[in-house]
Structure 1
């Protein structure tokens, strides 16, 4: 099963459009189980974050499901995003988006903002993050609003 899931993630990543023109990644520090400071130096926009979560190109709802009644065919491979802001701090959410393997080395979740040390990356994605720093912050801002 894990091998099939890994193939699925590789295929999803290969199908995504580039997040932005090749960019220099923002520096960040992992403190405990999170990245406490926004990658952009300021909080993101939750409205843009919601749109990104629901966009098939971000892949969030291909694996996750949540309180999105208008979104058909939500995933069931990963935990629900409902209540994400109650279960996790913005710092924890940020680390999971930047590089979920820091939290769970066996995760099938892509590293959305990490480019080094990755294997099995499609040629279109080499040396590029899947999401920009601003997009990460927008998604963090939105997920932090999801409280139970």
Structure 2
């Protein structure tokens, strides 16, 4: 193993992947009002998704991002992390992650200072992977 490979692998703190089904998210989003959706999504995510040309796909990306980040922590969503403490920012086809509250504290404890995320869409599915560095 080269020194560069060793350094790169030491920086990786976790990897999370999630596959989500858009029709499931469509049913969920259409079944609840804005205040209830705030239990899962931040106001910024809701505004961004609702103004999108593809709102159901974008809500699915945000949800899958939360799942992928929680998996990268190695815990999944627990009482330590609330859904709306993990925020996905979608700009064009770029995905960035912002943590709030206890999720941010957990990341700092784990010395995670950077998130790299990508997403893909095909048919009725969204795949998100989040890399904690």
TM-score norm. by structure 2 comes to 0.30
Which of the two has higher C-alpha Rg? 2
